[in-house]
Amino acid sequence: MIHFIKGNKIELLRNGSDYFPALATAIDKARLEIYLQTYIYADDETGKLIGDALVQAAKRGVKVHLLIDGFGSKELPRNFLQELKAGGVEARFYRPQVSPWSFKRSRLRRLHRKVVAIDGKIAFVGGINIINDCEIPDKTPPRLDYSLRIEGNLLGQITASVKKMWQRTYWTSSWTSGWTSSQLQKRTLPISSVEVLPDNDVEAAFVIRDNIFHKHDIEQAYLYAIRHAKTEIILANAYFMPGRRFRQALIFAAKRGVTVKLLLQGRMEYFLMFATHAFYNILLKNGIEIYEYREGYMHSKVAVIDDYWATVGSSNIDPFSLLLAQEANVVIRDQAFANALKEDLLSCISTCAHRVNPDRWMIGHRTKRVFSWLAYGLYKLGLGLIGRTNHH
């Protein structure tokens, strides 16, 4: 069971237009320490904006720690990181070695979470990477995505988590080559004080997925809420390839009268994303509504259940997120917040999405169905090669 904490102020941020200015402002106000952890950090306008803010914070004496994934940020120029380091930012890769020929699980265990903790007072948790969220600025809609700005009692858990992750990289970081083992052991993490708010605000839990003690926490949080849903489930997820237990939980919810709406990616970025279509038949036959987001690309990993339970984070509903990657979600029990997220999702469904017609899908879309089963077969083969077939 996850542990909910009262006394939080949580603001929903939609897309980079909300998130990046809020993040830059928080960095500008930092006085003690900053931990920023992300899967993708790009050398573009957004990356430079946040990078400049981090350097300016370091020049003020703030301890700045940047942790980025070695695969997700493999195209980031080394001179960009060197400039950050020269400006006082401690920057490291999580698993910097990337081998295109290896099927080992360790290669796929990536840092996929997007978490920022500042001074023990403000945190950001969500699905937005440090990258321009438009494929072609001013010509394409932004990727649909969300993040949270968090203040209050939950900061203790978030800050402890990012520091623990940072500590683990001391021995594997590509930036520690000049340190001896004795020097590394003497390094200590800065101590921050957490600002505590009265226990009368939003109730929330910080839920992570790692490969040690929290392997199934995010999936279990979803399953518990779905199995106890009474009226409505709205789930928006970019990479939706759920395991058997997850599919059955959604189907059983629909059978007991719960309205289930899935907002999924309508534009295919990768061939393997066609594997999602392999589940359409069984879901549609059981009364689950499927909507494909068509306006632009969707990167969301959020859900609202019964107008009270909500989650925002980095975890997709697929085995790579639920079984391999380092992920972080926040689960919120608050009617006002849940209704705000629900309103935004329903607006996206009504104006930017296309509903998949069950009858037309069953008798048509033969080409899509062929591609979906081909993609699903390749997907299963890949899971078999890394020893994860028992999930489906």
- List the Cα angle 94/95/97 in 5-degree steps: 140
Q: What is the pLDDT of residue 188?
A: 42
User: CATH number of the domain at 208-391, please?
Assistant: 3.30.870.10
Distance CA 281, CA 366 (A): 12
Give the pairing type, strands 202-209 and 327-333.
Answer: antiparallel
Cα-only R_g, the chain: 21
For 35, the token pair is 């931990």
Asked, colleague to colleague, whether 5-173 and 208-391 share their fold, the answer is: yes
pTM for the complete prediction? 0.88
Nearest residue to 327 (alpha-carbon basis) of 206, 235, 237: 206
CA distance 1 to 383: 28
pLDDT score recorded for residue 220: 96
Q: Is 138 exposed, middle or buried (0-12, 13-18, 19+ CB in 10 A)?
A: exposed
* Residues with pLDDT less than 50, the chain: 101, 173-191, 388-392
Query: How far is 26 from 121, CA to CA, in rounded Å?
Result: 10
In degrees, to the nearest 5, what angle opens at C-alpha 354 toward C-alphas 350 and 359? Answer: 125
What per-residue confidence (pLDDT) applies to 116?
98
Amino acid at 328: A
Supply the residues annotated as catalytic: 112, 114, 119, 299, 301, 306
pLDDT tens digits for range 274-326: 667 778 888 999 999 999 998 888 999 999 999 999 999 999 998 777 778 89
**CA dist 41 → 34, 68, 97, 146, 207 (Å):** 16, 7, 17, 17, 23
Q: How far apart are CA 47 and CA 44, in angstroms?
A: 5
Tokens for 191? Answer: 């101590």
Q: Please report the pLDDT score of residue 141 as a whole number.
A: 83
Q: What is the pLDDT of residue 176?
A: 39
| Dihedral of the alpha carbons of 128, 132, 134, 135, in degrees to the nearest 10 | -110
pLDDT in tens, 314-353: 999 987 777 788 999 999 999 999 999 999 999 999 999 9
> So what's the pLDDT on residue 128?
97
Q: What is the domain partition of the chain in residue ranges?
A: 5-173, 208-391
CATH code of 5-173, in short, is 3.30.870.10
CA dist 95 and 100 (Å) reads: 14
Kindly report the backbone phi and psi dihedral angles of residue 97, in degrees, each rounded to the nearest multiple of 5, phi listed first: -75, 125
Report the 3 state secondary structure along the chain.
CCCCEEEEEEEEEEHHHHHHHHHHHHHHCCCCEEEEEECCECCCHHHHHHHHHHHHHHHCCCEEEEEEECCCCCCCCHHHHHHHHHCCCEEEEECCCCCCCCCCHHHHCCECCEEEEECCCEEEEECCCECCCCCCCCCCCCCECEEEEEEECCHHHHHHHHHHHHHHCCCCCCCCCCCCHHHHHHCCCCCCCCCCCCCCCEEEEEEEECCCCCCCHHHHHHHHHHHCCCCEEEEEECCECCCHHHHHHHHHHHHCCCEEEEEEECCCCCHHHHHHHHHHHHHHHCCCEEEEECCCCECCEEEEECCCEEEEECCCECHHHHHHCEEEEEEEECHHHHHHHHHHHHHHHHHHEEECCHHHHHHCCHHHHHHHHHHHHHHHHHHHHCCCHHHC
pLDDT at 180: 41
